Chain A
Amino acid sequence: DAKTTQPPSMDCAEGRAANLPCNHSTISGNEYVYWYRQIHSQGPQYIIHGLKNNETNEMASLIITEDRKSSTLILPHATLRDTAVYYCIVSAPIAAGNKLTFGGGTRVLVKP
């Protein structure tokens, strides 16, 4: 699986958009970009995924650059409950198990 690089931490003001960058310059053509988050040592929670098109769901938006070497997770209106560690993961779903490789993630602190 391709390696990802994320900033170790970032702060965000409550109510503002939070833009979380991720670099994955060695991504392969069949690899997806996944985002998970982990709130206060709970089990990780799936947020969103994409292959090459931008994606949006009720939690967030995912913007993937045209060359697919980087992406940005956007939390449109951050709340205090969005304080968490956010993991960007690149992986190819395969028949033998969709194994996720977690890096260090970005620790996001949403401030009032």
Chain B
Amino acid sequence: NAGVTQTPKFRILKIGQSMTLQCAQDMNHNYMYWYRQDPGMGLKLIYYSVGAGITDKGEVPNGYNVSRSTTEDFPLRLELAAPSQTSVYFCASNRPGSTEAFFGQGTRLTVV
């Protein structure tokens, strides 16, 4: 099993550009999450999903959009990138009722 796979690993965007961060898991987990981590800080929840077709906002959703058309995939969309979105983005997943979340290796995004 690959676990949680994030692509790309690194990306540089110009201000105002858009992009989609991809996240896929092969563990048939219903719950998926997107976090961002700024330098020296803990992770903050952006969006989460409890199943295909269901998404909800986390702590810092502004400037982002998500969709969940399949159980496996949970892409994060950045529209009109801003320097404040420079961060490392982590995707995670877990089963309902499970206490262990599995994280991807992260996408390091720089907006210049």
Q: Which residues of A contact B (CB under 8 A)?
A: 32, 34, 36, 41-46, 49, 87, 93, 95-105
Give the B interface residue count (CB, 8 A): 30
Contact residue among B58, B90, B98 (Cβ-Cβ distance under 8 Å from A43)? B90
Interface check B74, CB cutoff 8 A = no
For the complex of A and B, 9 pairs with smallest distance between CB atoms? A43-B103, A102-B42, A102-B43, A46-B100, A49-B99, A97-B50, A97-B48, A44-B103, A103-B42
A-B residue pair count with CB separations less than 8 angstroms: 63
Q: Which A residue sits closest to B102, measured CB to CB?
A: A46
Question: With A46-B100, A104-B41 known to touch, is A98 a contact of B94 (CB < 8 Å)?
Answer: yes
Q: Is B100's CB under 8 angstroms from A97's CB?
A: no
A98 and B31 form a contact (CB under 8 A) = yes
Measured between alpha carbons, how far is A62 from B35 in the docked complex, in Å? 26
Contacts of B106 in A (CB 8 A): 41-43
**A45, A96, A99, A103: which contacts B45 (Cβ < 8 A)?**
A99
Question: Dominant SS at the A interface?
Answer: loop
Q: Which of B59-83 contact A (CB under 8 A)?
A: 59
CB <8 Å contact, A99 and B33:
yes
Contact A98 B105 (CB under 8 A): no
Tell me, in angstroms, the Cα distance from A31 to B36 when the chains sit together: 24
Alpha-carbon separation in the docked complex, A53 to B71 (Å): 34
Residues of A within 8 A of B42 (CB): 87, 102-105
User: Do the beta carbons of B101 and A98 come within 8 Å of each other?
Assistant: yes
Q: Contacts of B48 on A, CB cut-off 8 Å?
A: 97, 99
Instruction: Beyond A43-B90, A44-B103, A102-B35, list 5 extra A-B contacts (CB 8 Å).
Output: A32-B99, A41-B88, A46-B102, A93-B97, A98-B94
- Docked pose: A46 CA to B59 CA in angstroms: 21
In chain B, positions 1-20 with a C-beta closer than 8 Å to chain A are 4
- Least CB separation from B49: chain A residue: A97
The residue among A93, A100, A101 with the most chain B CB atoms within 10 A of its own CB is A100
